[in-house]
A and B are shown apart, each in its own frame.
Chain A
Amino acid sequence: MGQAHAAPRKNTMKHLTTIMILALPLMLAGCKTEHTVNTNSVVEIKPIEIKPIYATIDINVKVQVDRELDSFFDYEETLKPLPAKSSSRLKDIKKGQA
Chain B
Amino acid sequence: MAEIMYWEAIRRAHDEEMANDPMVICMGEDIAVAGGTYKATQGLYDKYGPERVIDTPISENGYTGLGIGASFLGVRPIIEIMSVNFAWLAMDQLFNSAAKVRYMSGGQLTAPVVVRSPGGTAHQLGAQHSARMEKIFMGIAGLRVVTPSSPKQAYGLLKSAVRCNDPVFINEHELMYNMKGEVADEEFFHSLEGSEITRHGRDVTLFAYNISVHWCLQAADILSKQFAIEAEVVDLYALAPLDRAGIAASVRKTHRAVIVEEAEPAVGVGAEVMAIMNEECFFELDAAPQRVSAVHVPIPYNHSLEKAAIPNANDVVMAVRKMFGK
A binds B: no
Which residues of A pack against B, CB within 8 Å? none
